[in-house]
Amino acid sequence: MTQTVLITGSSSGFGRRTVAKFLAEGWNVVATLRDPAAWNGEPSEGLLVQALDVRDESSVAAAVTAATDRFGRLDVVVNNAGAGLFSVFEATPHAVIEELFDTNVFGPMRVIRAALPVFARQGGGRIVNVTSSSAATPTPLQAAYGGSKAALHAFSEALEYELADQGVLVKVVEPGFVPTTGFFAQTAKRFESIPAPEAYLPYVQKQLARFQVEPPPGYFATEDDVATAVHAAATDETGLSRFRVGGDTLDSARAHRQPDADYDTWRRTTFAAS
């Protein structure tokens, strides 16, 4: 039986490559995005392009219904849709932070809530939530963004316990920085719209300079690396719950395995204000 996956945020970046990966592996794919007219991929018998806004409960419900109407079942949901934010917390309007959490945390919750009755009827299913290395290792100027991804990660781990007896597995894919996506351009644009207070400018300039340092070739992940990890999470039978992607993510994981005092020294040295 051909399996079916619903992927949010399919218009570009991780989502677009994840759609291609699952199609190549022979799955039925429900590629969702806020505006289906923006989809310019090749048509496929196993592909349904569907409107879905993770901030709109009725839109989410309609997309899940469309998936089961078209393919008869839904085996995996991939919560990939997300928003970025690069800003000084003090200067960031609360409404902007609420919108961020609505997309990055409450959005996946809406999708999962809509999918669970389908999984119950089928006797099981799988949830793959795409978080970020910022969830485990918060970075400067990403207090709100890292907080949203950390919330999604904690939610995912707790949900894994709740759903295990229902035959539903919960997996987390944790990418680091992926230079080839439009994510950094998106976050940079939002950063420009939220000017940093003057007192923060020296620190902000130092942190921005960090992004100009060229890492060794292959250090950062690519979109295809993330798509491969998502597919691995969707098909994993080993019990692994977290799939880290990228050299920066692996470095932060190694740092976390140090004693607390050593970890604090590492992070303060790495992200020091002076």
Q: Are the CB atoms for 245 and 174 separated by under 8 Å?
A: yes
Question: Bridge partners of 128?
Answer: 78, 171
Q: Where are the alpha helices (DSSP H) in the chain?
A: 13-24, 57-71, 94-101, 107-122, 133-136, 143-163, 183-192, 201-210, 223-235, 247-256, 260-270
CA atoms within 13 A on the CB side of 206: 11
CA separation (Å) from 204 to 93, 186, 196, 211, 226?
Answer: 18, 18, 8, 11, 29
* Paired strand residues for 77: 6, 127
Query: Three-state SS for 32?
Result: strand
- Separation of alpha carbons 105 and 132, rounded Å: 12
* 263 belongs to the catalytic site: no
∠ CA 158-242-9, nearest 5°, is: 90
Neighbours of 41 (CB within 10 A): 14
- Two tokens, residue 162: 């709740």
Asked whether the CA dihedral 152, 153, 158, 162 is positive or negative, the reply is positive
Q: Using the 8-state DSSP alphabet, how is residue 37 labeled?
A: G
Distance CA 67, CA 42 (A): 19
Point out the residues that are catalytic: 145
